[in-house]
């Protein structure tokens, strides 16, 4: 007998066991691929990224654009705007504007054209973290939030409640973690703060505390703005550093459609110019109510109003950074109610994006304002076609794109996570299909067909393209029916609730140092607690 130990005989493996092992290998392979997809991707291989070139969808042809442009110039010169404040009149008339017999400030074509020649272009919208800096020019597209919802929506019960400062801060924290939401403009009203100064100050400070992305905010009086500016100087490390990298822009409704200036907003606009803050020049008429019911007419009026704002700002300070914010909204003409999720809304905003492109100005439009009251099927289809059409129209900044319901009256925190998935998919349509040599895949087809194995599942190109070319949802479900049942048959809302809770429990922004936060809280009435 040999002293060498012999291996023990292995029992035969049954067909069922072999099948189980094969299934295990498949499950293991699938889990490995899922882990690969879940890992953070390097910037250079991400399938979509902020600032991709858009513009494939054109609702207006070149002749349409010129007609709208000339109509807008006509009403600026012959109708003008009412209720201009003295400083506005002084600045604009010094450059060739004039008051007509009705006391309206009229702007000649030549003055508009001169302004367009000196207006700011190619300015960066900074984040507190330079990783989030945006370059919103040409046809580069970025998605973000905005709005002034007065209610928070529970996605499970459908109940509405008043929105609070803590909600605003939490929304900023969630947005801070969303890959496809690139900036945060305040999206709700802090209804727990009846004092207008405290509301304005806390709206700005809660926003910049919750995210290091670029922030948009608004103020009702210039004194409120000045207080916020002092806090922003502290965060930036001084006024000089703030002016070099202003990470907050002012959303300013300087007009009350149709064609009237808003006194307090104009005073805030002038404060922003002097304070070095970029301005979203916002004209938001509602078709059939405060702007013409005709879609073309609604665009004409908002283009004219924003051109007037551009002349106004450049008459104070030539070249001050302004966002061309034409936001004509849609009315359901049967009732007069706003219809933010309509197909007409997508057409209007796409047309406005083209007008900003025509002027070669940074354009801001909006999309994703579902009429649906909760995150349901109606919300999904309304947001989906608005994202896709407006995102592909050449828009630079797409506001109000996440969380909005009830035509801007309600905001759902969990919808931010769902909408992030939808925006990501829409951005993939913006990127389009490349047809370079590697993408055409001739060599891959040759290898698979001539050398085996007759499929592409394990091919190097497949592994590479799985990351580079495909966008995967965070809360969207792509499991089989069997797997879905095994997981408890969760809806997308239930998965979003879980994901949102995880973010709020784990993400504690600390980009504003504790000592700076303490200084601000000692000087100003801060009404929320940082986590």
pLDDT digits (tens, 9 = 90+) for 303-351: 999 999 999 999 999 999 999 999 999 988 899 889 999 999 999 999 9
> Does residue 215 form part of some domain?
yes
Q: Is-cis flag, bond preceding 453, omega within 30?
A: yes
> Does residue 107 form part of some domain?
yes
CATH number at residue 304: 3.20.20.480
State the Cα–Cα distance between residues 91 and 81, nearest whole angstrom.
14
Under a CB-based contact definition with an 8 Å cutoff, are residues 410 and 152 in contact? yes
Structural domain for 144, as ranges? 52-60+95-431
> Does residue 423 form part of some domain?
yes
> Does residue 155 form part of some domain?
yes
Q: Sign of the CA dihedral 453, 456, 461, 464? A: negative
> Does residue 497 form part of some domain?
no
Under a CB-based contact definition with an 8 Å cutoff, are residues 349 and 365 in contact? yes
DSSP string, 400-455: S-SSEEGGGTEE-HHHHHHHHHHHHHHHHHHH----SHHHHTHHHHHHHHHHS-SS
Which stretches of the chain score pLDDT less than 70? 1-40
pLDDT digits (tens, 9 = 90+) for 113-172: 999 999 999 999 999 999 999 999 999 999 999 999 999 999 999 999 999 999 999 999
> Does residue 475 form part of some domain?
no
> Does residue 19 form part of some domain?
no
pLDDT digits (tens, 9 = 90+) for 189-206: 999 999 999 999 999 999
Under a CB-based contact definition with an 8 Å cutoff, are residues 386 and 346 in contact? yes
Kindly report the number of other CB atoms within 10 A of residue 100's CB atom: 12
> Does residue 485 form part of some domain?
no
pLDDT value at position 213? 98
Kindly report the number of other CB atoms within 10 A of residue 49's CB atom: 15
Placement of tokens 């997308």 in the chain: 492
Kindly report the number of other CB atoms within 10 A of residue 507's CB atom: 15
Total domains in the chain come to 1
Under a CB-based contact definition with an 8 Å cutoff, are residues 298 and 69 in contact? no
Q: What is the pTM of this model?
A: 0.92
């Amino acid at each position: 007998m040999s002293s060498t130990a012999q291996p023990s005989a292995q029992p035969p493996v049954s067909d069922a066991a072999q099948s189980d092992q094969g299934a295990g290998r498949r499950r293991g392979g699938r889990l490995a691929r899922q882990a690969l997809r879940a890992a953070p991707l390097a910037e250079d291989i991400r399938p979509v990224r902020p600032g991709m070139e858009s513009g494939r969808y054109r609702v207006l042809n070149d002749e349409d654009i010129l007609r709208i442009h000339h109509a807008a110039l006509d009403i600026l010169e012959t109708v003008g705007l009412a209720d201009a404040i003295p400083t506005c009149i002084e600045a604009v008339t010094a450059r060739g504007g004039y008051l007509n017999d009705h006391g309206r400030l009229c702007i000649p074509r030549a003055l508009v054209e001169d302004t367009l020649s000196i207006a700011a272009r190619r300015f960066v919208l900074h984040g507190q973290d330079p990783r989030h800096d945006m370059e919103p020019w040409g046809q580069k597209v970025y998605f973000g939030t905005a709005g002034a919802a007065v209610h928070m929506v529970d996605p499970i019960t459908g109940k509405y409640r008043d929105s609070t400062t803590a909600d605003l801060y939490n929304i900023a924290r969630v947005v801070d973690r969303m890959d496809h939401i690139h900036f945060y403009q305040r999206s709700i009203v802090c209804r727990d703060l009846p004092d207008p100064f405290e509301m304005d100050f806390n709206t700005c400070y809660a926003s910049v505390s919750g995210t290091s992305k670029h922030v948009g905010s608004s103020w009702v009086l210039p004194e409120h703005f000045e207080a916020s500016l002092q806090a922003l100087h502290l965060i930036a490390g001084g006024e000089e550093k703030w002016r070099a990298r202003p990470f907050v822009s002012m959303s300013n409704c300087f007009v009350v459609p149709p064609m009237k200036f808003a006194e307090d907003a104009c005073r805030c606009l002038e404060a922003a110019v002097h304070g070095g803050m970029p301005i979203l020049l916002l004209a938001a008429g509602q078709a059939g109510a405060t702007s013409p019911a005709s879609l073309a007419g609604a665009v004409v009026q908002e283009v004219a109003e924003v051109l007037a704002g551009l002349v106004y700002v450049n008459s104070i300070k030539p070249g001050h950074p302004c966002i061309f914010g034409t936001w004509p909204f849609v009315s359901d003409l049967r009732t007069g109610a706003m219809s933010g999720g309509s197909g007409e809304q997508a057409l209007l905003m796409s047309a406005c994006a083209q007008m900003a492109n025509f002027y070669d100005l940074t354009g801001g439009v909006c999309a994703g304002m579902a009429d649906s009251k909760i995150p349901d099927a109606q919300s999904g289809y309304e947001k989906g076609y608005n994202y896709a059409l407006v995102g592909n129209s050449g828009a630079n900044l797409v506001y109000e794109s996440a969380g909005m319901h009830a035509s801007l009256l309600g905001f759902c925190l969990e919808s931010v996570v769902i909408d992030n998935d939808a925006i990501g998919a829409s951005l993939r349509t913006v990127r389009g299909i490349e047809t370079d040599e590697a993408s055409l895949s001739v060599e891959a087809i040759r290898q698979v067909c001539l050398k085996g194995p007759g499929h592409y599942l394990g091919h190097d190109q497949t592994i590479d393209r799985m990351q580079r070319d495909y966008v995967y949802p965070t809360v969207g479900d792509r499991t089989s029916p069997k797997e879905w049942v095994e997981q408890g048959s969760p809806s997308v809302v239930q998965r979003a609730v879980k994901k949102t809770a995880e973010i709020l429990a784990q993400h504690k922004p600390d980009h504003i140092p504790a000592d700076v936060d303490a200084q601000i809280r000692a000087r100003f009435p801060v009404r929320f607690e940082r986590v």
